[in-house]
Chains A and B, each alone.
Chain A
């Protein structure tokens, strides 16, 4: 009788060898996937609710703030083109900002900005990777048991605010206090409601999301609405604490 480990190996070999002979038409698969994806995107833009879109994808929407309103996606500090300020921009004095908070310390940093609540450790692995690169931070953690996501990415790596506002007019890009801002109101999909705020600042896009469940989709909500309000999320993403 074979051991469970041997059976595992045998089954893995069996599965692999049984499918090796399959040679699909890759071009057809890709073309079909792209065509369906474009259709789905068009439907979204028309305001059609597509339950198939995972709530976690809302994170993407919030990043629409990336890019300049009037520019062609050049990264950097926001220029408020229609409101010239008395202080002229200083294009030759561009300060390079570093990210100051390690990804693992983001939960505590956010907790310090919020009323008392139960803050969990950063999640890692699977669908919740902990990314801690010099210019790229992604932290998922639980606040009062609900999923919270905080992301900072270089603006240069993302589409522009104008592009994404154009792609999804339901989430406009606004200039608030001199920063391009995109506010995602509560959106429900796959059982879970999420909301978030992104700002464009110092050449980065800073995003914070709050969910009303422990996961981004397909789990029962723990409360009616996400526990971190849009105002609090706005305060979080505008905080100076993220930069040095």
Chain B
């Protein structure tokens, strides 16, 4: 039976989860490339935050958003390690980009495909760097890598998706 404090902690967690779920889902979608896997990853992440949240000190996680993002990244990577042979290219595109212009949609599709070609850790580096807007050092901390390793992975991944970036850049120039 939840106590007053337990009920309050639960309510606080749910408020946090409601506020962050969509953002976590977007990260998860870029990492997984699949709507259902992304949903699974976010729920697993929230479950981990929930467990920590209900602990006395866990209830005062200093930066719950960062904690959740780190949990999401590490859960994704550990899941990929467990399924070492299971790195599935995105066989389909379950979340069709919004039809807001053919070229823009093409860019999104290209990004989606390009990310699918990257190793999971490289994908995570890009998501943390460019969606979460974290520094190399912060990414290193979140992923348990050295800053040098993050830089190397980032450079390698950027090289591989350069075409998508260039396409996006060209589209923006056209639009101006």
Whether B51 lies near A41 (C-beta < 8 A) is yes
**Binding-face segment, A61-69, A103-111, A114-122, A223-231:** A61-69
Which one of A16, A29, A38, A158 contacts B50 once the chains associate, using CB atoms below 8 Å?
A: A38
B89 at the interface (CB under 8 A from A): no
Which of B6, B14, B22, B130: most chain A CB closer than 10 A?
B130
Would you call A60 and B55 a contact (CB within 8 A)? yes
CB neighbors of B among A51-90 (8 A): 52-54, 57, 59-64, 66, 72-73
State A37–B47 Cα separation when bound (angstroms): 4
Chain B min CB distance to A22 (Å): 5
| Contact of A19 with B131 in the complex, beta carbons under 8 Å | yes
Task: Tell whether, in the assembled complex, residue B29 and residue A22 are in contact, meaning their CB atoms are under 8 Å apart.
Answer: yes
Task: Please determine whether B138 and A14 come into contact, CB atoms closer than 8 angstroms.
Answer: no
Asked if residues A151 and B43 are in contact (CB atoms below 8 Å), the reply is: no
A22 touches B25 (CB 8 A): yes
Size bracket, chain A contacts: 35 or more
Per the 8 Å Cβ criterion, residues 15-42 of A in contact with B are: 15-24, 26-30, 32-41
Name the interface residues of B4-58: CB closer than 8 Å to any CB of A: 4-6, 9-10, 13-14, 17-18, 21-22, 24-27, 29-30, 38-39, 42-52, 54-58
Given A30-B14, A57-B58, A18-B111 contact (CB < 8 Å) = yes
Given contacts A11-B165, A19-B29, contact A24 B39 (CB under 8 A): yes
Q: Is the CB of A33 within 8 A of B5?
A: no
Q: Nearest Cβ distance between residue A13 and chain B, in whole angstroms?
A: 8
Report the separation of the CA atoms of residues A24 and B164 in the bound assembly, to the nearest whole angstrom. 25
In contact, B58 and A10 (Cβ under 8 angstroms): no
- Bound together, the chains give a CA A32 to CA B43 distance in angstroms of 6
How many contacts between A and B, using CB within 8 angstroms?
200
Interface check A164, CB cutoff 8 A: yes
Any A CB within 8 A of the CB of B127: yes
Query: Whole-angstrom distance between the alpha carbons of A131 and B62 in the complex?
Result: 9
A residues in contact with B165, CB < 8 Å: 7, 10-11, 14
* Least CB distance, B70 to chain A, in whole angstroms: 7
**Contacts of A151 on B, CB cut-off 8 Å?**
57
Query: Once the chains are docked, how many angstroms separate the CA of A7 from the CA of B9?
Result: 42
Interface-central residue, B5, B52, B70, by most chain A CB under 10 Å: B5
Smallest CB separation, B33 vs chain A (Å): 12
Do residues B111 and A14 form an inter-chain contact, with CB atoms below 8 A?
A: yes
Q: Is A234 an interface residue (CB 8 A)?
A: no
CB-defined A-B contacts under 8 Å, sample of 25: A15-B130, A21-B97, A24-B38, A28-B39, A29-B24, A29-B25, A32-B43, A33-B43, A33-B47, A33-B49, A34-B50, A39-B47, A57-B55, A60-B58, A60-B59, A72-B3, A126-B138, A126-B142, A127-B141, A129-B62, A129-B63, A158-B5, A158-B57, A159-B59, A163-B6
